[in-house]
Amino acid sequence: MELVLVLHSLLRWAIVFFGLWTVINGFTGVTGKRLYSKSDNLSNLLFMIFCDIQLALGLTLYFSNAWFDKLKSGMGNVMKNSYDRFFTVEHALLMIIAWILVHAGRSAVKRAAPEKKHKKMLVFFGIALLLILAAVPWPFRTEIAKPLFRWFN
Ligand code: HEM
């Protein structure tokens, strides 16, 4: 499981990078009234692919690292402890909502008329990125803090 945890921790940076690139593309597309380009498509495709991999790694951690067992042993106890509540409920739920938005965004952008694609990109991927940033256990979040870079012990 250590390998999965290290990968899950490191992949957050790919997600932040491709998420920001996608949102910046959406923003400059709306303000500059550009045509939807290959770079726009590539940025949100890579954002989606890394979110897919992260979901698979996250679910592996969730079911193998006793988080799901904690949930089964009683919701009341989990909700009383902020560390357990964060990883068992808040982190997992917000990240799954973000993942759904990323997929919904990809198909909304595909279906949209050319002049509306950047706006869809900005809204769907912008909200998804905000949720992701809010649900990461950054080191400054004292009760749930995890390192910025995790490596093998
Ligand atoms: C964009 C999506 C996600 C990002 C950016 C993300 C990021 C992170 C980060 C940075 C950590 C701390 C790793 C460390 O200890 O160094 C973490 C832990 C964790 N994540 Fe995620 N995560 C995402 C999605 C998910 C999903 C969808 C699930 C499960 C449904 C999940 C389950 C977990 C669990 C259970 C832990 C705690 C691992 C442990 O210490 O046992 N994550 N996540």
What is the distance in A from the centroid of ligand 1 to the CA of 4? 10
Ligand 1 pocket, residue 129 CB under 6 Å: no
Domain count, the chain: 1
Residue 14's domain comprises: 2-144
The closest alpha carbon to 44, from 91, 92, 93, 112, belongs to: 112
Query: Along the 153 residues of the chain, how does pLDDT read in single tens digits?
Result: 999 999 999 999 999 999 999 999 999 999 999 999 999 999 999 999 999 999 999 999 999 988 999 988 889 999 999 999 999 999 999 999 999 999 999 999 999 999 999 999 999 999 999 999 999 999 999 999 999 999 998
| Rounded distance between C-alpha atoms, residue 85 and residue 40, angstroms | 37
| Rounded distance between C-alpha atoms, residue 91 and residue 87, angstroms | 5
Nearest alpha carbon, ligand 1 atom 38:
61
Map residue 123 onto helix, strand or coil: helix
Q: Is position 149 within any domain?
A: no
Ligand 1 pocket, residue 135 CB under 6 Å: no
Q: Is position 98 within any domain?
A: yes
In this prediction, residue 65 carries a pLDDT of 85
Q: Is position 127 within any domain?
A: yes
In this prediction, residue 106 carries a pLDDT of 98
Q: Is position 96 within any domain?
A: yes
What is the distance in A from the centroid of ligand 1 to the CA of 58? 5
In this prediction, residue 153 carries a pLDDT of 87
Residues with Cβ within 8 Å of 86's Cβ and at least 6 positions away in sequence, in order, are 137, 143, 144
Q: Is position 152 within any domain?
A: no
